[in-house]
Amino acid sequence: MASAGGNGSDPEFQVAPMIDVLLVLLIFFMSIMTDQVAKIDKSILLPLAPEAKKRVHDVKNEVIVNVDWDAASNLPQVRFGAKVCDPVEQLAELVRPLKESNPKLKLIIRADQDTPAIEIQKVIEHLAGAGIDDISLSGTNR
């Protein structure tokens, strides 16, 4: 980066290579920080859960209930496996034998984003009525 002139004068400092290196570093650090900033939304106040533990998936004890929202009829469609629960009270009848045979049964509710919260609450109430005490709501991070 420094070179001496042919006439014995002081070495000259080459600025162009230094600018190239600085621009590469700037782009590198900007790309890293953009990813970190996208993960953090400072306007959200998260609840404090000092005893929270990372959930480990227990595939043999987990069962999924899907709640699809039919916008045309303004009604939810609750599915347990391939079985459509219409009315939603059928869900408790389907889940109760599973809970009796497996006390560690966990239910995961996967609801469409357009489903009103009151409809999801009704599904949770029917599951609780069937004796299910471990219910999770599924979401996506994208």
- Domain-wise residue ranges, the chain: 59-137
Residue 66 bridge partners (DSSP): 79, 110
Tally the C-alpha atoms within 13 A of residue 40's C-alpha that lie toward its C-beta.
Answer: 6
Q: Evaluate if residue 52 carries a pLDDT over 80.
A: no
pLDDT, tens digit (0-9, with 9 covering 90-100), for 85-142: 888 888 888 888 888 888 888 888 877 777 888 888 888 888 888 888 888 777 665 4
**Where are the strands (E) in the chain, listed by range?**
2-3, 12-13, 62-70, 75-80, 83-85, 106-111, 135-137
Do residues 111 and 67 touch, judged by C-beta distance below 8 A? yes
Fold adopted by 59-137? Nucleotidyltransferase; domain 5 (3.30.420)
Q: Decide: residue 123, CB within 10 A, 0-12 exposed, 13-18 middle, 19+ buried.
A: buried
Q: Evaluate if residue 17 carries a pLDDT over 80.
A: yes
The gap from C-alpha 29 to its chain's centroid, in whole angstroms, comes to: 26
> How large is the greatest C-alpha to C-alpha distance in the chain, in angstroms?
97
pTM over 0.85: no
CA–CA separation, 24 and 21 (whole Å): 5
